[in-house]
Structure formats: structure tokens, C-alpha cells
């Protein structure tokens, strides 16, 4: 999957909403193992010096795996920083800050290709799993960022999968409302108290599907 060419280059130190949907709305995350797999992939491929195929990394013993992770966290530069995420059965939402030149494109290519290999082997299939290039929208203001993270964190409730956003374990919401959780995200720049953020999210839970203005601003016409 070649994601290196984009009409508008992605710029370092800027924030983007990144969206990737499976082909024809195909369910690509079917169970806990699938969701855990993509979370682990997201974590490791953000590091510039992670040079393993993920399946080969998993073949290593647990002690060596942990040693590699600790070295990456201590020494490796990153391609991107993850601000927020929501993994849905048919698609992925990410809010990313690009840190290195071409970082987002390389990161997305790595994670989508890695998961495709895993999925195809497990399900005895061939061919692509995702709809072409990932989509991106530049996040220009803090206000837009707050609305965007709320949109992501309410995705599963809007889809009727869970009743409360904290019940969906495959988003970054718990990282936002429970300080001290070791997670994937860096959102310190938002400077909002967990209790205040939780109220901010839940105040709009019932109205998420009606936020047409925010949807058009943040996801360029995509629904879900």
C-alpha cells in the first residue's frame, strides 16, 4: 500500500485527524484479540527505530520484547505523536501530530500493512483491506481539537455499540478522564481537567449524530 504521495504534504508540528475505513465497510476488528493487536501496532510503529515486522517481534520471548520496548521509549525518536484515537469495527480514527518528515504517511503505511498481513493470514484471504489512501484533515485550533476528540470518544455510543463512552475500551477516552493510566496518547497541551473533560463529552452524548457542522468541519463529509 503506497501512501507516500499526497496532493497536500503533511507538515511537521501540525495536528491532523486521520481516518481510514475498511473496504466496503468490512468488519476488520472482530474480537478482543484484533483490537489488542492494532493497539500494540499503533504503539510500536510510532517509533522511528522500530524496524521489525510485527509478527517477527511477537516471535521473540517476552523478556526481549520488553527490553526492546523500553529501549525504544528511552532512546528512539518518534515519527508521530498520538493525541487521541478510536478504533471501530470497520474503521480507525486518529488524531496525530507529525514529528518527523513524512512521519504520518510512514506510520499509517506501517500500521495498515501490518494489520492487513495479520488479518489475511488469520482469515485465509488475499488482497487489500482498506479503502485506498487514508484521509486527513488539518486541525487548526484548540476549539476544533476539543470537538474532534469528543467526536472520536463518542463514536461507539453514537453507533449504539455501548451506552457510555468509558465502556468502549478501544478509544483513548479513559486516558483523558483517568490520570495515571499508561496509554498511547500525549494531550497535555490541551490543559483540561479530567472531570471537566468528562462533562464536556457527556453533555453532547445524546446529540452526537446531530452535530452536522462539526462533522463537516472535522471529517469532510464522512459519517461514522
Residue 137 has pLDDT above 60, yes or no: yes
> What is the dihedral angle through the alpha carbons of 165, 172, 111, 2, rounded to the nearest 10 degrees?
80
- Side-chain half-sphere CA neighbours of 47 within 13 A: 19
- pLDDT band at 215, cuts 50/70/90? low
Indicate the pTM of the whole model: 0.88
**Where do we find the cell 518527523?**
100
Q: How far is CA 179 from the centre of its chain?
A: 20
Mean pLDDT, residues 78-98:
98
Q: What is the DSSP string of 81-120?
A: EEEEEEE-SSEEEEEEEE-STTHHHHHHHHHHHHHHHHHH
Q: What angle do CA 83, 109, 123 make, to 5 degrees?
A: 105
Please provide the average confidence, as pLDDT, over all residues in the chain: 89
pLDDT in tens, 20-51: 999 988 999 999 999 999 999 999 999 999 99
CB atoms under 10 Å from CB of 137, counted, come to 18
37: which 3 cell numbers?
Answer: 493487536
> Which bin fits 135, alpha (ψ -120 to 50), beta or left (φ > 0)?
beta
In this prediction, residue 141 carries a pLDDT of 93
Residue 203 has pLDDT above 80, yes or no: yes
- pLDDT band at 1, cuts 50/70/90? very low
Mean pLDDT, residues 105-133:
93
State the helix-helix crossing angle for 32-45 and 103-122, rounded to 10 degrees: 150
Architecture of domain 15-219 in CATH? 2-Layer Sandwich (3.30)
63: which 3 cell numbers?
Answer: 523478556
| Spatial contact of 45 and 111, defined as CB atoms under 8 Å apart | yes
Question: CA 173 to CA 207: how far, in whole Å?
Answer: 18
> Which bin fits 192, alpha (ψ -120 to 50), beta or left (φ > 0)?
beta
Amino acid at each position: 500500500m503506497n501512501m507516500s504521495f499526497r496532493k497536500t504534504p503533511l507538515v511537521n508540528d501540525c495536528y491532523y485527524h486521520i481516518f481510514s475505513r475498511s473496504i466496503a465497510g468490512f468488519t476488520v476488528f472482530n474480537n478482543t484479540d484484533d483490537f489488542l493487536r492494532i493497539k500494540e501496532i499503533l504503539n510500536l510503529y510510532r517509533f522511528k527505530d522500530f524496524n521489525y515486522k510485527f509478527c517477527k517481534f511477537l516471535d521473540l520471548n517476552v523478556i526481549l520484547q520488553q527490553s526492546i520496548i523500553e529501549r525504544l521509549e528511552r532512546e528512539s525518536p518518534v515519527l508521530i505523536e498520538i493525541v487521541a484515537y478510536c478504533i471501530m469495527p470497520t474503521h480507525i480514527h486518529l488524531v496525530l501530530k507529525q514529528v518527523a518528515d513524512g512521519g504520518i504517511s510512514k506510520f499509517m503505511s506501517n500500521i495498515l500493512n501490518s494489520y492487513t498481513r495479520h488479518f489475511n493470514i488469520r482469515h485465509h484471504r488475499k488482497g487489500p483491506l482498506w479503502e485506498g489512501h487514508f484521509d486527513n484533515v488539518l486541525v487548526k485550533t484548540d476549539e476544533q481539537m476539543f470537538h474532534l476528540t469528543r467526536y472520536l470518544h463518542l463514536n461507539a455510543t453514537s453507533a449504539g455499540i455501548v451506552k457510555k463512552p468509558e465502556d468502549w475500551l478501544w478509544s483513548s477516552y479513559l486516558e483523558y478522564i483517568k490520570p495515571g493510566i499508561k496509554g498511547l496518547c500525549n494531550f497535555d497541551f490541551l490543559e483540561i481537567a479530567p472531570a471537566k473533560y468528562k462533562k464536556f463529552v457527556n453533555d453532547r452524548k445524546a446529540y452526537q449524530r446531530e452535530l452536522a457542522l462539526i462533522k463537516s468541519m472535522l471529517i469532510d463529509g464522512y459519517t461514522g
